Structure 1
């Protein structure tokens, strides 16, 4: 009987995450938690048992998203074209980054706190993306002077612009395409002013 409860609790947990992801994509991080519970087919008490605060739910969603992006990057390491694999992953990263409009400072603090689970998930995802970048650089498709931190900052900027320009279909793809032209291996190295 206890095993059935654990499986049921896990199903509720996964269902809550899936519905919350949709609700936050539609309404931002201030989406109604009562509505999330209702749409997931559970009571508000069940939601709060799994996620005692809105921040806990957001952290679980972000951690789950980071884990999925890490797994995706690891899978793309075997793709035939390192350049295409990197662009595929960057598109998915940018699209996922637009989901959580209005993150509370408490979640951002957890993301920066080195001992937090959320920080660890983000770090693992970024490291997997770094391996995709290194593979593309080793193949000669991407300039060698580009760092993973710089590339991720570019994608974060693209995601932010896309979020601010709601309704412009294809903007992420267009901006990533222009950016990819800039980080192509046949470009001269970037020098920073002193």
Structure 2
């Protein structure tokens, strides 16, 4: 890809991330193109549909989330590493105002997102194993996503997400995740 085309793509992704964070599923592709400083044709050349744009954003975010989790595998306190990563998962889940949960993305997007889910599950399993927990990473991630969903829909309140996550992680043995 030419450098100017790559820069345009990066600007579109940044603008889309901001628009989806601000407006959720109601984000406008025209506003995304305007915010990125490109024409609609440029946006559609890189991303032929809103679904393709969403999948690209989510894939980038999941790659960063998984790299963060993989880096935490070397943390000297495995329980703290797991807690830190679970919070990052919850923040990731709320990043675009529930757009992934509310949009029907189609079979191709669902397949791409299934790969993202598998990568998150693998990192979560590795962190749980390192922390010495026998719990199921899939179940734990389901609960963390539910906490993220609930915290996003309740009236804004400082510290709510962390309090809810603390309630969830209390179910893990204290030697895995010490109480807050």
| Same fold? TM cut 0.5 | yes
- Structure 2 length-normalised TM: 0.88
Q: For 1:126, what is the secondary structure of its paired residue?
A: helix
Contact 1:130/1:148 (8 A) holds in 2: yes
Query: Does residue 1:77 correspond to 2:73, yes or no?
Result: yes
User: What is the TM-score with the length of structure 1 in the denominator?
Assistant: 0.82
Q: Which runs of 4+ in 1 moved over 4 A?
A: 109-112
Shift of 1:123: 0.9
Q: Quote the residue 1:162 is aligned against.
A: 151
Name stretches of at least 5 consecutive residues in structure 2 with no aligned partner: none
Query: Offset at 1:93?
Result: 0.7
Give the drift of 1:111: 5.7
**Counterpart position of 1:184:** 173
Whole-angstrom distance in 2 between the partners of 1:33 and 1:159? 26
Task: Please list the CA deviations of residues 34-59 of structure 1 after superposition, one character each: whole Å capped at 9, or x if unmatched.
Answer: 11111111111111111111111111
Q: Distance between the aligned counterparts of 2:41 and 2:155, measured in 1?
A: 34
Within-5 A mapping of 1:44-193: 44-100=40-96, 101-103=98-100, 104-107=103-106, 109-110=107-108, 112=110, 116-137=111-132, 143-144=133-134, 146-185=135-174
Deviation (angstroms), 1:154? 0.9
Which structure would you say has the larger Rg? 1
- Please report the RMSD computed on the Cα atoms of aligned residues, expressed in angstroms: 1.9
Gaps of 5+ in 1: 138-142, 188-194
Distance in 1 (alpha carbons) for counterparts of 2:27 and 2:4: 25
Mapped partners of 2:130, 2:63: distance in 1: 20
Q: Aligned residues, how many? A: 173
